[in-house]
Amino acid sequence: MSYSAINNSTILPVEACRLACDICGIDMALFDPSNTLKQANARWLLSHGLELGSAAGTPGVRCWPADDANERIELLNRARTTGISIIYQEQRDGQRVETCIVPLSTADVMLISSSGGIDRTAWPTRLPKPELVGAIAQSANRVESLSKREREVFGMLASGMTIRKVAEQLGRSEKTIEGHRDAIYRKLNVNNRAEIAILAIEAGVMPAKRSSITSG
């Protein structure tokens, strides 16, 4: 049975929603049950090479490059069928972009994309956790391989806290925290704090805006 992720009454009027997304630097698009483009904001149309004012009614398979189109349509259908949002990552003009496919109660699906990543730390508790696919799923699995204490230290280091601050907050010695850090580096195959911060963002441990990378 499909879960209604967002009730119609909670959605802003389409024009207001598109404008708000443009202002916030977010791409958004709406596809109907036949995977035909219904609405999109200027940012989404521009990034997909579609013309303003004439894109509505474009078949979904024509909204992406041929190599990606079938995979994208499959994800739209899966989100619609399961009622669970799907988050995937792609590269656009050399920039990492995360997209969330949100199933709506009308059987439409909304796509929301951001180069800053989707903030999964603020995901509404009343909704099922989103399905992660591709590179972000791999990143999340890597972080899950850490022990509970290591994940705790990982999150603190990724947020920019120094070894001393982590030790103080956890009531442990700096040497102990350094040991956790070294184990994290080894298990995740990373070499520095910058790589930890990037992995934390990709894994959804923290949004990009919270990243404050320091050495150590």
pLDDT on residue 31: 96
Question: How crowded is residue 44: how many other Cβ atoms within 10 Å of its Cβ?
Answer: 25
CATH architecture of 8-133: 2-Layer Sandwich (3.30)
Would you state the torsion angle of the CA atoms of residues 210, 121, 75, 60, taken in this order, to the nearest 10 degrees? Answer: -50
- The class of domain 140-210 in CATH terms is mainly alpha
pLDDT on residue 67: 86
The region that residue 74 occupies, defined by phi over 0 for left and psi between -120 and 50 for alpha, beta otherwise, is alpha
Q: Phi and psi (nearest 5°) for 175?
A: -60, -40
Q: CA 110 → CA 43, 58, 73, 186, distances in Å?
A: 14, 15, 13, 39
pLDDT on residue 13: 66
121 contacts 174 by C-beta, under 8 angstroms: no
pLDDT on residue 179: 94
66: burial class by Cβ within 10 Å (0-12, 13-18, 19+)? exposed
Pairing of strands 95-103, 109-114: antiparallel
Sequence spans of domains, the chain? 8-133, 140-210
Q: Quick one: tokens of 38?
A: 């219904």
| Spatial distance between the Cα atoms of 77 and 163, rounded to a whole number of angstroms | 46
| Spatial distance between the Cα atoms of 112 and 199, rounded to a whole number of angstroms | 21
166: burial class by Cβ within 10 Å (0-12, 13-18, 19+)? buried
Strands (E), the chain: 27-31, 37-40, 86-92, 95-103, 109-114, 131-132
**Ranges of the chain with pLDDT below 70:** 1-14, 207-216
139 contacts 199 by C-beta, under 8 angstroms: yes
